[in-house]
Amino acid sequence: MPIGRSGYDALQIVFRQVAQHPLPGIMSSNLQVSYNLSRIVSSYGGSTNSDQFFAAGSWDYDNPNQYMGRNSLDRKNQVNFGGSVTLKYGPRIGLIGHFYSAPPTTLGLDGSDSTGGIFTTDLTGDGSIADLAPGTQPGDYMRRIGPKGIVGYVNNFNKTYAGQLTPAGKALVSAGILTQSQLTAMGATIQQLATPASTVSLPNPTTRSLDASFSYPIPLAKLREGITLEPEIDFYNIGNFANFSNGISGVLLNTTSAGGSVNTTPGYLTGPNNYATLNADRIQRGSGTYNVGAARTTEFKLKLNF
């Protein structure tokens, strides 16, 4: 059937404990720790890193399952923990932590030439442009190709593929409409990739988050049984970990769109690797109380439980 596929495999280890008076001075505790070793693969994505719920088209319209690789939601290692303890002479303390390894990025060709793209970036001949970088699978960056491997890939691409004809170009030559030299003169061949600005590309970010809360229920038995007044203070990202969105594009710009033989355009794996580019993707405080991954935030609460 001409449909896409996806798969998820994982080994999950979970430890749970609920205890009364586990240690001297502790009235009760509730703890859960989990570890996931997992892999998510899919055969679709088009020019984006899509997931199972918001999928773009296939990389090859003629053979939808030709390319099966890591999905943008793939996180090889995930550690989650959470729990709370109630002290006999003190507050209730709660912790929630999430630590994830870096997600992958798909390496694709530059599709800015939407008019003549079938002659420059349609390597499969299915009519779609901005194809998957040849020799790679979806999600290869941070999996089979690391930050130090982009330079080698670009150099090999320029030696092996640049200047060659795509299936659309070969069809014109076979039909006697144009010659290969004419197509080359028009720029209707696979274009050279711009040289990376750094020998090491920006790695995809990990996720680190640790939230803590401290509350102290005060019984108001004189008013009514079961009523408590509970002051609370919460710390989101108490470790103040710097987190970054995965905003670095895996599109391999050619020498024309990059403005020269070296890619000086920030925001791409082949672009500059510096703090200015990194900080552009730093997660900042959002609106309201949604603050996942942002800098440390403190929240004060006063609750009346009845």
Q: How crowded is the C-beta side of 45, counted as CA atoms within 13 Å?
A: 30
- Give residue 96's pLDDT: 97
Determine the Cα angle at 262 with ends 257 and 266, to 5°: 70
Burial 66-97 (b: 16+ CB within 10 A, else e): ebbbbbbbbbbebebbebebbeeeebbbbebb
CA distance 70 to 40: 6
| Residue percentage of the chain with pLDDT more than 70 | 94
pTM recorded for the entire structure = 0.87
Residue 106 has pLDDT above 60, yes or no: yes
- At residue 291 the predicted structure's pLDDT band, cuts being 50, 70 and 90, is confident
pLDDT of 98 reads: 96
Give 2's pLDDT tier (boundaries 50, 70, 90): low
| HSE value, Cβ hemisphere, 13 Å, CA-based, for 303 | 13
Provide the 10 A C-beta neighbour count for residue 294.
Answer: 19
pLDDT bucket at 61, cuts 50 / 70 / 90:
confident
**Mean pLDDT calculated for residue range 87-104:** 94
Q: Is the dihedral of CA 103, 104, 106, 110 positive or negative?
A: positive
Of 164, 173, 158, the residue nearest 263 (C-alpha): 158
Average pLDDT over residues 71-88: 94
pLDDT over 80 (residue 287):
no
For 49, the token pair is 């890193």
Greater confidence (113 vs 18) lies with 18
